[in-house]
Structure 1
Amino acid sequence: MADLTMIAANLENIHARIAAAARAAGRDPADVTLIAVSKTHPRAAVLAALAAGQAVFGENKVQEAEEKFPIPGAKLHLIGALQTNKAAHAVRLADAIDSLDRERLSDAIAKAAAAAGRLPELLVQVNIGDEPQKAGVPLAAADGFIKASRARFGAALKGLMCIPPEGVDPLPYFKRLAAMADAHGLAVRSMGMSGDFEIAIAAGATHVRVGTAIFGARPVPPGVIPATHH
């Protein structure tokens, strides 16, 4: 459960770490946007973060996001895998959809955007480690899909997102995503989470996604035995 009294202090700490990582990489800290991942935490936690000056939030599931947003002054990124049947809800609600990864989803977003008269910003999610259990465009198909998405959505396609494999050095994966964004002339690279965002910033991240380091441990659903992390 989010400790509302700690959120402001946690945000201050994360912003200080982002600034230090950016300066160490010879970058302007203002060029790195913090996405506060509020999934599983209550609307009160989002409001506490907003009151502390945080404006950009990330949610995994459309249904949960709809329970908390829209909130005046808050920008919502949908960062989880998006089902095509949720595309219309996502287009109406989100400021950015960061998980575009297949043609059927492109079709659903384009149709929903035409109906709603609005198109969120879009990021293509690349399966940077080619992991079968993860969402994202496979590496072999990524260049073609990015080009097709740019042709279809124009300036709304802002950049790329990835989640590197767990348990290995993420730096080569972050560098690969940054190089891919550069090759396509895309400015946004959303990469890096609570455990590795400083490495991502060194590799050129423009957006980092931090949840537990801001809001605390995610609530465990009833009947679920929490995992232990050593």
Structure 2
Amino acid sequence: MMTPTSSSPQPASPDIAANLQAVRHTIRDAARNAGRKAGSVELVAVSKFQPAASVEAALQAGQRLFGENRVQEAAAKFPALRQAWPDLQLHLIGSLQTNKAVEACRIADMIESLDRPALADALEKAAQKTGRLPDLLVQVNTGCEPQKSGVLLPEADAFIDMCQQRFGDRLQGLMAIPPAHEDPAPHFTCLAELGRRHGLDTLSMGMSADYPAAIAAGATLVRVGSAIFGARPPPTP
């Protein structure tokens, strides 16, 4: 394993390790309370805007699955980390521009934000170019919020059908981000029902503030950032 570089913020490492342990315990307890099997929920550590040293601290604490919003940030941060931790898994969880599809296919293990036909087109072409297609989740805008990415709920069934026909088993499931100022539970239930209708088992839902409720509704992936890494640094321009 790679040892921390001299520039790594050593005092932060014990906090990240302790935070990870606390989040894992909460996941375990939430799954047990929901009558679910141990290990049925995976933690995606959201490392967007975090320095590589913080990701390294999480890796040293046993975390292997990470989520990034920006393709360019992930491409700068993760290749070197993969050399030291070959079992590292990277999910792209932010809105994906079509002109970033090729790089996304090169670096990601899963793209959680497939939400429009133009992106499906771009990913298909990128997969042909790179010889590689990551696993995919359809992002659903369960609150029909105009400012938010995701296929609108009334259009979701048709879009999911199209993606299943086009990508087959590479389409693993669904992702959603409920409206910030609403009870998230109905949105989680809605996404779970949508997944059942289409035979899709992977549900990425729940973040630092609400992931126990997401687990109760059937989440198989929870995306947790601030509860692990603390407040995010401001993004670079």
> What range is the shorter-chain TM-score in?
over 0.9
Distance in 1, matches of 2:173 and 2:206, equals: 15
Large movers: runs of 4+ above 3 Å:
none
Alignment correspondent of 1:164:
178
Aligned to 1:120: 134
Question: Equivalent residues in 2 for 1:41-190 (5 A)?
Answer: 41-70=50-79, 71=82, 72-190=86-204
CA change 1:222–1:162 in 2 (3 A) is: closer
Partner of 1:228: none
Question: 2-side partners of 1:222 and 1:114: how far apart?
Answer: 32
Aligned in 2, Cα 1:109/1:222: closer, same or farther, shift over 3 Å? Answer: closer
Match of 2:41 in 1: 32
Amino acid at match of 1:99: S
Give the aligned residue type for 2:197: A
Partners of 1:34 and 1:56 within 8 A in 2: yes
Q: How many Å apart are 1:3 and its aligned residue?
A: 2.5
Structure 2 segments unaligned to the other structure (5+ residues): 1-8
Matched to 1:180, the amino acid is L
Cα deviation digits, residues 25-69 of structure 1 (max 9, x gap): 000130000000000001111111111111100000001001111
| 1:207-226 alignment runs, 5 A limit | 207-220=221-234
Determine if contact 1:18/1:29 at 8 Å carries over to the other structure.
no
| TM-score (norm: length of structure 2) | 0.91
In structure 1, the gaps of 5 or more residues are: 224-230
- 1:140-174, Cα deviation, whole Å (9 max, x unpaired): 11000000000000000000000000121100000
Matched-pair identity in %: 59
Measure the CA separation in 2 of the matches of 1:202 and 1:75.
25
Which whole-Å CA distance do the structure 2 matches of 1:67 and 1:47 have between them? 14
2:213 — aligned with what? 199
The answer to whether the 8 Å contact 2:49/2:235 transfers is no
CA distance in 2, matches of 1:222, 1:174: 32
TM-superposed deviation, 1:177: 0.1
